[in-house]
Structure 1
Amino acid sequence: MQVYPHITEAIQHPHIIDIGDQVYVAKFECMKVYSTLTAIDHLIKKGTLKVGDTVVDSSSGIYAHALALACHRFGLKCHIIASKTVDDSFKTQLSLLGATYEPAPSGQSLKLDQEFRVNRIKHLLAESPNVHWMQQYHDDIHYLGYQKFAQKICHSLDLVPDDSLTLIGGVGTGCSTGGTAHYLRGQGINLNVQGIQPFGSVTFGAEFVDDPEAVIAGIGSAIPFNNVRHDIYQDIHWMSFNTCLSGSLALMKEHAIFAGLSSGAGLTVARWLRNTGHKSPILLIAPDTGHRYLEAVFQRPHLAEPIDSLEPKKLSHLSELSMPWSVIPWPQLETHFTPKHYKNNRLAKVG
Structure 2
Amino acid sequence: MIQTLFGSLDEQQKPSFLDRMKEAVTRTRENLTERIEEVVSFGKEIDRATLDDLEATLLGADLGTTTTHEVLEKLREKADRKQIGNVDELKRLLKEEILAILNATDSQPVARVDGTPEVILVVGVNGTGKTTTIGKLAQVLRSEGKTVLLCAADTFRAAAIEQLEIWGQRTGTEVIRTKAGGDPSAVLYDALQAASSRHTDYVIVDTAGRLHTKTNLMAELEKMRRTAQRIIPGAPHETLLVMDATTGQNGLQQARMFTESAGVTGIVLTKLDGTAKGGVVVAISRELGVPVRYVGVGEKAGDLLPFDPRDFVDSLFV
Same fold (TM over 0.5): no
Q: Which has the higher strand share?
A: 1
TM-score by length of 1: 0.28
* Greater helix fraction, Structure 1 or Structure 2: 2
Which structure has more relative contact order (CA 8 Å, sep 6+)? It is: 2
